[in-house]
């Protein structure tokens, strides 16, 4: 990784106006150091975090790789705080050769109290880079603060697996999606699975099997039923299946999905051996007697096909998983894109979870 150099400003008991003026001064100072330094103009990221857990969020941000926002505004909440303290850091390449350009990234850490949340929009508004999309993320709750910032933002980042009740998570995500573009980390974790499932049935001679699916079992981390719901919702929305609500069945959850030719049995099963959030595996059976399975494995997803005559073929889909460390970076990247398949899948997932 190229060496970087930081320019830092700090002040206690400050105001948004003073912070904004300090940013402009630091930006001017950078350009005076070397005209090759330029402002990065991609995305604002506004974080609302508990002070006690801010280090964990900082570690996650450190793993986003090349998907760093242009300006990150961290609202660090301390319950008893009354004054606003601020630290502004401008980071850029330590060496900029003549004729080269080096983007400068900016990080603002605002130490705020509970009392500031009701008017958080008036604090953040002067500090976002204008004419850039703004992504907001409240990983520790603080829904009232997130509401304050919705009118300033174009994208909200959520993680539906963090909600204890999947039905509540689906309803909340669906309500948000009617007001703002939603990027759901639980949805992004399923991307490799969706890619491999789509690839399985992509050959023309396999597409007819989509209409013959009779049963589907989705295995998931015990605390990630939301991830399984979203995967089921994706398949159902793409294939035109109508859902019925899930019911308890044999230690898991079961539902009937109504397809054109026959009903599809859906089972959601918690896998206690799964160590990371998200999906553990999926099994798809067809009325023609074939069974296809994908399971999380070392270096990718383990795939197998059991034919009607009992013969089995197995292989590894290399590089299928991005890993938990890369999910946040993928979420920031997705904020600049538009995924038209998420909301239809979310509607089905919400109907299943009722």
Alpha-carbon distance of 260 to 138, in angstroms, equals: 41
Is the overall model pTM greater than 0.85, yes or no? yes
Which letter, b or e, does each residue of 213-242 get, where b requires 16 or more Cβ atoms within 10 Å of its Cβ? bbebbbbbbebbbbbbbbbbbbbbbbeebe
Q: At what angle do helices 225-239 and 342-353 cross, to 10 degrees?
A: 120
Q: Which sequence spans correspond to the domains of the chain? A: 4-153, 189-353
Alpha-carbon distance of 169 to 235, in angstroms, equals: 19
189-353 CATH fold: Dihydrodipicolinate Reductase; domain 2 (3.30.360)
Output the tens digit of pLDDT for each of the chain's 354 residues: 466 788 999 999 999 999 999 999 999 988 888 888 888 888 999 999 999 888 888 888 877 777 789 999 999 999 899 999 999 999 888 888 887 888 889 999 999 999 999 999 999 999 999 999 999 999 998 999 999 999 999 999 999 999 889 999 999 999 999 999 999 999 999 998 999 999 889 999 888 889 999 999 999 999 999 999 999 999 999 999 999 999 999 889 999 999 888 899 999 999 999 888 889 999 999 998 999 999 988 777 888 999 999 899 998 876 555 556 678 889 999 999 999 999 999 999 999 998
Alpha-carbon distance of 305 to 246, in angstroms, equals: 27
Alpha-carbon distance of 163 to 322, in angstroms, equals: 23
Angle of CA points 86, 89, 94, to nearest 5°: 165
């Amino acid at each position: 990784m190229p060496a970087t150099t930081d320019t830092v400003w700090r002040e206690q008991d400050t105001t948004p106006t003073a912070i904004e003026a300090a940013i402009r001064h630091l930006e001017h100072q950078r350009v005076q150091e070397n005209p090759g330094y330029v402002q990065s103009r991609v995305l604002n990221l506004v974080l609302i975090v508990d002070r006690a857990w801010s280090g964990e969020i900082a570690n996650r941000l450190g793993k986003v790789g090349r998907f760093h926002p242009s300006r990150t505004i961290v609202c660090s909440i301390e319950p008893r705080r009354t004054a606003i303290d601020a630290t502004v850091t401008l980071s850029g390449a330590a060496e900029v050769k003549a004729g080269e350009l080096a983007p400068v990234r900016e990080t603002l850490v605002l130490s705020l109290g509970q009392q500031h949340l009701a008017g958080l929009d008036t604090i953040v508004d002067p500090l976002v880079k204008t004419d850039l999309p703004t992504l907001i993320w409240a990983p520790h709750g603080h829904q009232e603060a997130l509401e304050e910032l919705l009118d300033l933002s174009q994208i909200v980042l959520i993680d539906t697996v963090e909600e204890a009740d999947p039905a509540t998570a689906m309803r909340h995500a669906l309500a948000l999606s009617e007001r703002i573009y939603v990027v759901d980390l639980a949805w992004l974790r399923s991307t490799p699975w969706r890619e491999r499932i789509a690839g399985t049935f992509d050959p023309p001679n396999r597409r007819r099997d989509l209409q013959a699916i009779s049963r589907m079992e989705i295995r998931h981390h015990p605390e990630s039923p939301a991830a399984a719901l979203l995967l089921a919702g994706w398949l159902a929305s793409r294939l035109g299946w109508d859902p019925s609500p899930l019911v308890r069945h044999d230690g898991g959850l079961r539902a009937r999905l109504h397809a054109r030719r026959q009903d599809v049995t859906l089972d959601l099963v918690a896998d206690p051996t799964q160590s990371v959030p998200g999906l553990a595996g999926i099994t798809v059976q067809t009325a023609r007697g074939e069974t296809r399975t994908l399971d999380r494995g070392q270096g990718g997803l383990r795939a197998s096909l059991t034919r009607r005559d009992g013969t089995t073929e197995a292989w590894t889909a290399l590089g299928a998983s991005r890993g938990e460390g890369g999910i946040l970076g993928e979420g920031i990247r997705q904020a600049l894109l538009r995924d038209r398949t998420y909301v239809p899948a979310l509607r089905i997932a919400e109907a299943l979870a009722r």
